[in-house]
Every structure is written in structure tokens, then in C-alpha cells.
């Protein structure tokens, strides 16, 4: 069965610093991979997705993620974090039977 691991429960970065959130997955076939963001009290919003093709995908709000099949990873990156990026981030794998990671909470220091 597919599964997702987000090793970091909570990350704190300074505003303007770079960010990398880790995601490892287990999936039997070609994975469909997603990153979602959740602001407090809100539903989830898609940041980016990978189905096939170029392994570096660009998303909204300046985020990007790189699919590495050999490492079963799909890490999320941003070169310069803004205070408004503080939120919880979820990696997910699959189609109809989607599996989400436990999430990484991002705190941004001024």
C-alpha cells in the first residue's frame, strides 16, 4: 500500500532564508505526487503536482519540488521564504485512494 513520510514535524526558518521540506513515499507504480498547503483554520490548497515528465516541477507562490525516483523522494523547496508562507505543508501520493503525510509545520522568524 502507498504511504508518505514527512520526517520533519516542525521547521523554523528566518524570513528570506531558503527552505526545503522533505517527503519520502512508498508506491508500487509510477507515483502521482502532490504538495498541499494548509493555513490555520482553512482547507488544503494545491501548491504543485508531479505526474510524469520533467522531474523538477514549479508551483504557485514560488515553490518548486524535485522528483527523485532513486531516492523515493519529492522534496519541496523555496529560495526565499516570506512571512506569509507560515503554514502546514502536506505531501501526498496516489489518485483516488490518496495517502497524505503527517505534515510539516513551518514557522517563519522575522
Partner 1 sequence: NAGVTQTPKFQVLKTGQSMTLQCAQDMNHNSMYWYRQDPGMGLRLIYYSASEGTTDKGEVPNGYNVSRLNKREFSLRLESAAPSQTSVYFCASSDVLAGVGADTQYFGPGTRLTVL
Q: Which residues contact 37 (CB under 8 A, 6 or more apart)?
A: 44, 45, 47, 61, 87, 88, 89, 90
Report angle CA 78, 100, 43 to the nearest 5 degrees: 75
Residue 37 as a binder of partner 1 (CB under 8 A): the answer is no
Total interface residues for partner 1 by CB under 8 A:
24
* Position 40 contacts partner 1 (CB under 8 A): no
Under 8 Å CB-to-CB from 8, ≥6 apart: which residues? 21, 22, 104
CB of 51 to partner 1, least distance (A): 6
Among 9, 53, 54, 70, binds partner 1 (CB under 8 A): 9
Task: Pick the closer one to partner 1 by CB: 13 or 32.
Answer: 32
Among 46, 58, 60, 79, binds partner 1 (CB under 8 A): 46
Closest contact distance (angstroms) between CB of 18 and partner 1 is: 25
Compute the residue count for the chain: 110
Amino acid at each position: 500500500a502507498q504511504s508518505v513520510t514527512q520526517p520533519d514535524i516542525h521547521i523554523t526558518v528566518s524570513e528570506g532564508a531558503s527552505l526545503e521540506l522533505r517527503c519520502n513515499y512508498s508506491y508500487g507504480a509510477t507515483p502521482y505526487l502532490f504538495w498541499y498547503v494548509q493555513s490555520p483554520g482553512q482547507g488544503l490548497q494545491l501548491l504543485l503536482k508531479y505526474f510524469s515528465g520533467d522531474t523538477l516541477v514549479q508551483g504557485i507562490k514560488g515553490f518548486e519540488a524535485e522528483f527523485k525516483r532513486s531516492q523515493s523522494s519529492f522534496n519541496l523547496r523555496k529560495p526565499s521564504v516570506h512571512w506569509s508562507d507560515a503554514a502546514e505543508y502536506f505531501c501526498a501520493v496516489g489518485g483516488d485512494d490518496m495517502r497524505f503525510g503527517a505534515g510539516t509545520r513551518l514557522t517563519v522568524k522575522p
